Amino acid sequence: MIEIRDLHVDYGKVSAVRGVSVTARPGRVTLVLGANGAGKTTTLRTVAGLTTPSSGDVLLDGESIKGWPAHKILKRGISLVPEGRKVFGSLTVHENLKIGGLVASKKAREESMRTVFEMFPILEERQSGPAGLLSGGEQQMLAFGRSLMSQPGYILMDEPSMGLAPAVVDRVMASVRSIADRGIGVLMVEQNAEAGMKIADDVVVVNRGESVYSGPVDEARNHSSVVLAFLGEAALTGTDN
């Protein structure tokens, strides 16, 4: 279990996160909703060890990982799929995947590669070609695959639907669900609330750096007028950032 407890993160004088608490569990998709600038990316980057919090804590199975370097957090099984996918366009699909598995042994890497190809057959078909020639949806699958190569217990996903056509968004969300169904805990930031809620188990709403709601997806959908207000706002804000 990943527990983010009352996290605060500052960029100099800018307070980006000021009181975010989120729990992610194995086999579950925890969806983090919030408008542009709410602090979602900062939260994920802090869990991954790319940003240092000013206060609060991040626990992995009860142990604080706050302030640990990113490579150590990755080795412990928390992998980040960054905003904008960030695949290496001039490298082949196969090379991109190999990079994701660098923390693992050669044997584990070969095993992971087989699993990734089973999950995303298109990546096996295109493995020798440059990643830059893949479509947006395929690049997102490559970003998931690269992340899976380290055999993580948890994957942090930053706006995987960003910039994708609606039909592709549903395919990408189905992939997210199938990743969680393998027992991996997924902590996913999305501005596309509707698409995310179709496959999520739990929902957290972040407003201006603070988590203001968390609950199971059905409750979030049916009960909270607060959440509905944010869903409306998120839908209006669109998919930018």
Ligand X SMILES: Nc1ncnc2c1ncn2[C@@H]1O[C@H](COP(=O)(O)OP(=O)(O)O)[C@@H](O)[C@H]1O
Specify burial of residue 33 (Cβ count, 10 A radius: 0-12, 13-18, 19+). Answer: buried
Q: Cβ 195 to ligand X, closest distance in Å?
A: 17
Please tell me the total number of residues recorded for the chain in this structure.
241
Q: How far apart are CA 91 and CA 45, in angstroms?
A: 25
Nearest CA among 145, 153, 156, 206 for reference residue 51:
156
Specify the residue, 93 or 156, whose C-beta has the smaller distance to ligand X: 156
Q: Cβ 87 to ligand X, closest distance in Å?
A: 20
Q: Is 16 in the site for ligand X (CB under 6 A)?
A: yes
Q: Cβ 39 to ligand X, closest distance in Å?
A: 4
Residues that bind Mg ion (CB under 5 A): 40-41
Q: Is 241 in the site for ligand X (CB under 6 A)?
A: yes
- The torsion angle over the Cα atoms of residues 145, 166, 206 and 82, rounded to 10 degrees, is 30
Q: Cβ 135 to Mg ion, closest distance in Å?
A: 22
Q: Is 37 in the site for ligand X (CB under 6 A)?
A: yes
Q: Is 34 in the site for ligand X (CB under 6 A)?
A: yes
**What is the phi-psi region of residue 67: left when phi exceeds 0, alpha when psi lies from -120 to 50, beta otherwise?**
left
Q: Is 63 in the site for ligand X (CB under 6 A)?
A: no
Q: Which does 54 bind (CB under 5 to 8 A by kind): ligand X, Mg ion, none?
A: none
Q: Is 39 in the site for ligand X (CB under 6 A)?
A: yes
Give the number of other CB atoms < 10 A from CB of residue 104. Answer: 16
Q: Is 46 in the site for ligand X (CB under 6 A)?
A: no
Place of tokens 């007028």: 225
Q: Is 8 in the site for ligand X (CB under 6 A)?
A: no
Q: Which does 36 bind (CB under 5 to 8 A by kind): ligand X, Mg ion, none?
A: ligand X
Give the angle 191-64-75 at the CA atoms, nearest 5°: 75
CA distances from 220 to 4, 15, 197, 223, 235 (A): 20, 27, 9, 6, 15
Residue ranges in the chain assigned as alpha helix (H) = 40-47, 70-75, 93-100, 106-119, 121-125, 136-148, 166-181, 193-199, 217-222, 225-237
Among 4, 8, 19, 41, binds ligand X (CB under 6 A): 41
Q: Cβ 42 to ligand X, closest distance in Å?
A: 3
Q: Which does 92 bind (CB under 5 to 8 A by kind): Mg ion, ligand X, none?
A: none
Q: Which does 214 bind (CB under 5 to 8 A by kind): ligand X, Mg ion, none?
A: none
Q: Which residues in this chain contact ligand X in the complex, by CB under 6 A? A: 11, 14, 16, 34, 36-42, 241
